[in-house]
Structure 1
Amino acid sequence: MIWWSSHDIDRGLLDFPEREYHLGLFTVDHRPKPAAPALADHLRAGATPTPRPATDLPCPIDLRTEPHRRAEVAPGSRFHAEWVRLRENGPVRISHSTGS
């Protein structure tokens, strides 16, 4: 299991290992990389699995307005550990907490 994103990581976030900046299916400016249409073709060709309902995991911060708090949800944080625990049993939907 990995903590992964659909998009490449913006170089403005300076504390990632070099290899992690280009793992996405889409560029930072939302352009599909070659793997994106290839994955879509592969999925269209196969049987569609029945989706499992996602478990909701409230995120304690909004990274768009509080980017300085990213460490609170980064790998190694309590939030990340909870995401990993929940993800072992199926999909997880991250939502924004309303109380912070």
Structure 2
Amino acid sequence: MAISINGTSAELPGDPRVSLLDFLREHLHLFGAKKGCNQGACGACTVLVDGERVLSCLLLAVQCEGRAVTTIEGLALAEGLHPLQKAFVEHDGFQ
């Protein structure tokens, strides 16, 4: 079972109980999505799945099989920061 993370294929963990957030952070070492409340209330774990905003702490990694996941790390452009990343820097955003 595979999942596309920022345009790169990644094998899903064997444990079907692993959240997308834990998969990103613990298995792929992508730390842009944060573990805040772990209940879907704070939005710190937000990622895009097939272009739609989702809270990765509430979604199992296996539910994303065959789908495209984009994290904040995946927004970077070859010529510099994505406009969203730039706005976070300019306005001292942290989440």
TM-score (norm 2): 0.28
Greater radius of gyration (CA): 1
- Larger strand fraction of residues: 2
* TM-score, normalisation: structure 1: 0.27
